Structure 1
Amino acid sequence: MSAQPIFLSRPETSGVLHERVVSQPVRVEETLSSERLLNGRREILISHGDRVYRLRHTSNDKLILTK
């Protein structure tokens, strides 16, 4: 099965979008298990830019992400 071309757009300094064709598949996402991320804890802090988020694993087996 051959990969379909993927079109990516990016803004240039002139404000005009230029498209290019990528013939290789682009990996958009990678799955990371919550068990691996939390590593046995019920809660972790995640730094993103200048903010800190709290990821909690609740007693109802849900994940809650808050600022």
Structure 2
Amino acid sequence: MIDINALTETPGYDVRSLTNGGDQALLVLDGQVYSLRITRAGKLILTK
């Protein structure tokens, strides 16, 4: 596994850990809720 944090100063996160092994996570930014979803094709979709 790649340690993304060792490659850059930008924080990196494993999406599978954000989704707790599932296919969706809810993210909150300034009181707005966003849905991050992993598709069957392994792509990411972020929606408000």
Scaled by the length of structure 2, the TM-score of the pair is 0.71
Deviations 1:42-66 (A, max 9, x none): 1111111121000000001001001
Equivalent-residue separation in structure 2 for 1:30 and 1:41 (angstroms): 22
The structure where helix makes up a greater share of residues is 2
Q: Which consecutive aligned stretches of 4+ in structure 1 deviate over 3 angstroms post-superposition?
A: none
Return the TM-score normalized by structure 1. 0.54
Asked which structure has the greater RCO (Cα within 8 Å, sep 6+), the reply is 2
Match of 1:55 among 15, 28, 36: 36
Matched AA of 1:49: D
Aligned partner of 2:5 in structure 1 is none
Residues 3-14 of structure 1: pairs in structure 2 closer than 5 A = none
Percent of pairs identical after alignment?
A: 37
- In structure 1, the gaps of 5 or more residues are 1-26
Q: Please say which structure displays the higher CA radius of gyration.
A: 1
